Structure formats: C-alpha cells, structure tokens
A and B are shown apart, each in its own frame.
Chain A
Amino acid sequence: MGERQASNAVEGVGPPRPVDRTNEYVRIEHVTKRFGDFVAVDNVSLTIFKGEIFCLLGGSGCGKTTLLRMLAGFESPTSGRIFIDGQDMADTLPYERPVNMMFQSYALFPHMTVEGNVAFGLEQEKLPRSEIAERVAAMLDIVKLKDLAKRRPHQLSGGQRQRVALARALVKKPKLLLLDEPLGALDKKLREATQFELINLQEKLGVTFVVVTHDQEEAMTLASRIGVMDRGEIVQVGTPTEIYEYPNSKFVADFIGSVNMFEGRMVEDEPDYVRIETPELPCTIFVNHGISAAPRAAVWAAIRPEKIDIAREEPPGPDNRARGVVRDVAYMGDMSVYLVQLDGGKMVRVTLPNSVRQLSERISWDETVWLSWDASSPVVLTQ
C-alpha cells in the first residue's frame, strides 16, 4: 500500500494555505525500513512540496519518527530511495545533508551557552566570525532570546529551550527542517502560542517543514498537509480539512477527532445518493452523495459529534434521526459533550457549542431526546 489520496475528496475543500504542487522538494519512493523482524516503515511513497508544512501523524510506534530519521540520515532505508531537491540521498551522510532537525528532546549542548549552541552549526561551515556573530544575533532576535544569549540550557525554561533548538536548526538556513514532536514537552497554553509562532516563522523564512507528531490538534493547526501513518504505512495524505471531513478509512476517521460509527449495509446505491441500513438505528441513513462500493457490501457510516443535532422535539422525516436518553453531560466551557444512549442501546457522542449562557434551558441528564443529522454529514467508509 502506498500513498492513497483522499478518494472521496470534494471540490471546494482546499488547503488553508495554498500548496504549490508543482514544486516538489522531497520524494520518498517505496521506502521500507526493517529492524530485525520488525517492519518500522513499510513501502512508503510520499511527495513533499517546497514551502509546505507537512505533518506525519500517527500513534506511537507507527514509524513516523523512523521516517523522519531516514530523511535526516540517521537511519538508512532497507529498500527504496529518498530524493531531496532532486538528489538521491542514499550515500549522503547526515552532516552533509541540506537538512536540519529539531530533536524531540531538543538535544541542546549542555556545556555551551545559548549563543554557542546556535553558533555551532555555522562554525562547522567555517564562516568568518563576524558573519557567525551577526547571523546568531539575528536568529536570537527572531526567536526572542536575545537577553538569554549567555545562559546555559539548564538555566532555561522548557519553552525557551524549545526556541533555542529551533534557532539552532534554522540559523543554518536549511531548505528542509525536520521537527520531531516540536511542541511535545510544552504545556498546553504555551503549545498553542508556539504553534502559531512556528507557522509565522515558516512563512517568513520559506523553509519546508516536516513535522512528526502524535497530537492531531497540533497537526491540524500546523500542517498544510497531513500524512496519517499506521503500522509503518501511510494510510491517508491530505489537507487537514480533507483528513477530517473525508477520512478514507475507519482508522483515520477514528484517529482524527472523535466519531460515531454505524456499521451497516448499503440498500440503495445511486450515483447521487446512498441509503444505509444499520441494526443500530431504527431508520436508514440517507447520504446525499454517491460512493463507490459493491452493492449490499458492509459499510460504515461515520458521523462527527458536532454534526449531530440534539433536540427535545421529534425532527421531521423518516431518515437520519434516532431517539435516546442522555446518559452523561460534560460541560467543557466552550461546548458540551452529550453521551446519548439510543433505544437500540448504542452510545452516541454529540457536541453542542455553548453559544447561549442560559443554563436552565439546557438539555440535562436522563432526558429523552431526538438526534438528527443532515444528509451530507455522514461519511461512508468501506474499510
């Protein structure tokens, strides 16, 4: 299995930042990496374009870090080839690659000052001292660390260390920056702020970013495109919107955000609509777009929690509705999560934005409610 483009992508869903798809920068061709019997990366093919932020997203052990380390040159592929800027990287040692990496642990040199850490890469290029000093100062200015230039890494906070690591990698003006869980060690507030700083920096410097993360929220915010990995394979590549709204498999639908999955069979399969019968719902699911699957094949209808309406009144129409009892309510501030048990026994997750402050009107525990959704909401998955 190689790269499977989002098969059911629909026109009008575009990347948040335009990706120049003509300017290919990294090409990974059928790359496999084995450690003994264990296949860490399994026949991955991937193209990354110049100037984009590409996120490799997956759970732990899915091979995303191994893939990144092969780009950096710390691991060599068992088979397959990697091209960076058109050049085969097979015989290029890590210290000869036009690539820099920001390590998950930051890997700052503990015996050097912030300045020394940032200057290290430039010193290896044998640049004149004045130029090194100039570029280091400019880079420290960009990451707002000018005042801490003389400090040692152990005198810095986590966020400051992260910025030193970033500055150290970026000061070399790489064409490609690899980031291994760049925000993993930061707390939530700082992480959110840093995400936008990273994007701004990337846009300002025009560097191509390849980011490895297990955090889907981080991937959604940062990425122009996401490659979802599972057990060494890339299962879907697409923009955050494509991945979220049009997942191509149960795995992706489930991994990105939360989803209610209804297993059933197609009973009507027309070019412009399908109807799915499921034992979990008393009615059928009507989907207003066609899909390609064998008639009466087993399919899954995936509906995102925020795309389901919850109401006390019975909604009209025979399809796309169900009655249930609220079993649990979680108030999250900006929204509330309802766990509704349908009459058939299935638990369904529904989220509602708390757009009104009035508390008394809100649906509460043990109320009987009606769920309904739009015919465009379900995603029909065949695998």
Chain B
Amino acid sequence: MARSQVRQPQKPPIDAWGAGRLGLIFSLFYRYGPPRWSQYVRQHWSGQRLVIGVPFLWLFLFFAVPFIIVFKLSFSEVRLAMPPYAPLIEKVSEAAYAINVNMGNYAYLFTDPLYTSSYLYSVKVAAVSTLFCLLVGYPMAYAIARSTPTLRNVWLMLIILPFWTSFLLRVYAWVGLLKTDGLINQALGLVGLGPYTMMYTDFAVYIGIVYSYLPFMILPLYSNLEKHDLTLLEAAADLGASPIKSFLRITLPLSFPGIVAGSLLVFIPAVGEYVIPSLLGRSDQLMIGRVLSDEFFANRDWPVASAVSIAMLLLLVVPIVLFQRFQNRELAGARK
C-alpha cells in the first residue's frame, strides 16, 4: 500500500477514542504516527481495550507473575543457601541441564497431620464465621435497605466507618475486651457472673472474624435487597401469603445471589486469616495462614510454604468457581 494513501488524515470514530487527553494523544498518534501503527491501532485498539488493558496488566504483574513464581517454588527442594531453594533447572555440566521437579513438598503436606488438621480447622472456622456473619448481617442489610434514603446513608456510613481505623488496632481492641480481666468480664462481674475465659478460644476467633468481615457480608446483601421490587411483596400478600411466608418465598430466594456473594467475600479471606487467630486464637491449633507464615519465616522452608499456599488456593478455587458461575447466571437472569 502506498504510504501517502495511508497517511491521509481520517477522523477516528468518536466512540472508539472517547474524549479527553488520552484520546487526543492517540488520535494524534493515529494521524501522524508511522503508517503501520495507525493501521494496527485502527483495527485493533479501542478505548474499551485500553481500559480493560490497565487492570489486566496490573493483575498480570502483581498476581500472575508472583503466582507463577510461587508455583515454581513449590516444586523445588529446600536448601540452606540464599535463596533457600534449589533452582528448577540446574546446570549439571557443560552440556547437561537437570530439571528438578520435586513433588515431595506436596506429599509432605499429607504425611504431616499438622497440615491437614490446619486446613480442616481453617475451613471450619471460616464456615462458622461466615454463617454467623450471615445471621447477623442479613437482618442489618434488610433493615438498611428498607429504611428511608437519608437514614440508609447514615447506616451505610456507620458500617464503613470502622475501616478508617487500622485493622490491627481493632483486633487488638478485642483483646482488651475479651481477656479474663477485660471489660466484658468486669461488667459481668458487677452482676455477679463470670469471669469467663474468652481469650485464646475459638469463640474469640469467631468474634474477631465476624466483627472484621461483617461489612463484606452486609454490603453485597444490601445492594441486592435494595433493588428488590416491593410490589412483589404486595403481590404475595394479595395472593394470601403472610409476611413471614412472603419473606421465605420471595425475598429470601431473590436475595440468594447476595447471600452467595457476601458469604464468599467472608469465607475466602477468612480461610487464610492470619492476624485474628494469631492474636485471639488458640495456640494448640493453628490456622493455615499461621502455618504458612511459620513455614516461610521461622522454618525458612520456602518450597513447603509455597506448596501450602498452592494447596490453599486449590481449596478456595472451588468456591470461587461456584461464585463465578453464580454471577454469570445472575447476569443472564438480569437481562429481562
């Protein structure tokens, strides 16, 4: 193709470029840049690709690349060196390279009961905490969604407000509340009860997780409940359903996507929770997050730590995939 032909300035389609500075830069580039570029840009680049590209690049650099490194590490052998693992591909001699794939780290996870019990315990703690979050969060989300718009904003503000304080501080505050001579036991002592041992128990961990993750349950539930068409409830009442029946047959099933979203947002990070069980939890039973950090920092066994985290990831992939599928179904249902 003749150069002059390609260089002929043509107005780029507005929707592809959008407005603003970036659009201007690209349109200048498109008009006066090298011809191949302008062809390529016109055919393959659009504003849509650009905005998707930024988070993609971010996730690639800070999620995919580290993940690949960890994945690779999990197949290495531990070494007392710097870095403390054997390289995956080792130069044995001038002409030979050895690929050291070591499945031993994964096998080790099954041989030592510490790991399986930690995994199971983590899942249990996360599941129980999620359930409590749901039981506490659903009524709150429901009440917020049904209150007047002004009040609604106040409630939401109060839900989000704790995030302005450091997470660590808030968990430490619970130590002061829960310990044997803490505020709760002192108050109970005034009415002749207690003292109860609450610190370093599962109970304290549940309290800590429910408290910290409650907003992640409430916000998706709220955004679901707030969108409900209230005439559906009137229709149910009109057809003879009592308020409780209407809730069970209409509101609850329709809020199921919100329940799933909120539960996963609590469950997934709760499984890997490190700070809360370290500060409030039992010392005889570790959660997997703690095991991982001990493995990494105390034992300096990077390969086993990597294997632990890959195993944890696999454990969580199942609910994540379920979540994805659910969201897709939601999107399909929303197209009315």
Contact = CB atoms under 8 A, between A and B. Distances in A.
Contacts of A124: 239-241, 245
B240 A103 contact: no
A100 B249 contact: no
B241 A120 contact: yes
Nearest to B230: A107
Contacts of B229: 105, 107
B interface, size bucket: 20 to 34
Interface centre among B231, B235, B237, B335 (most CB of A within 10 A): B235
B308 to A, nearest CB: 41
A95 B241 contact: yes
B275 interface: no
A98 to B, nearest CB: 10
Contacts of B250: 109
Contacts of A108: 235
A293 to B, nearest CB: 46
B241 A109 contact: no
Contacts of A110: 254, 333, 336
Contacts of B320: none
B66 interface: no
Contacts of A168: 235, 239
B232 interface: yes
Contacts of A74: 234, 237
B253 A95 contact: no
Interface string B245-266: 1000110011000000000000
Nearest to B240: A124
A95 B237 contact: yes
A121 B250 CA distance: 13
A59 interface: no
A101 interface: yes
Given A111-B253, A154-B336, A121 B234 contact: no
Given A120-B249, A124-B245, A109 B232 contact: yes
A74 B335 CA distance: 30
Interface in B209-238: 229, 231-232, 234-238
A125 interface: yes
Contact of B231 (A100, A105, A111, A153): A105
Given A103-B231, A105-B231, A154 B335 contact: yes
A325 interface: no
Contact of A107 (B235, B240, B242, B245): B235
Given A107-B229, A154-B333, A121 B253 contact: no
A315 interface: no
Nearest to B335: A154
B333 A103 contact: no
Contacts of B234: 72, 74, 94, 101, 103, 107
Contacts of B236: 109, 120
B235 A103 contact: yes
Given A109-B232, A154-B336, A94 B237 contact: yes
Given A105-B231, A107-B231, A107-B232, A95 B238 contact: yes
Contacts of A50: none
A94 B254 contact: no
Contact of B254 (A96, A111, A121, A153): A111
Nearest to B249: A120
Listed residue (A72, A96, A121) with the most chain B CB atoms within 10 angstroms of its CB: A121
Nearest to A104: B231
Identify the 5 closest CB pairs spanning chains A and B, nearest first.
Answer: A121-B239, A124-B240, A107-B235, A154-B336, A107-B231
Interface of A: 72-74, 93-96, 99-101, 103, 105, 107-111, 120-121, 124-125, 152-154, 168-169, 172
9 contacts: A94-B234, A96-B240, A103-B231, A105-B229, A120-B236, A120-B249, A124-B240, A168-B239, A169-B238
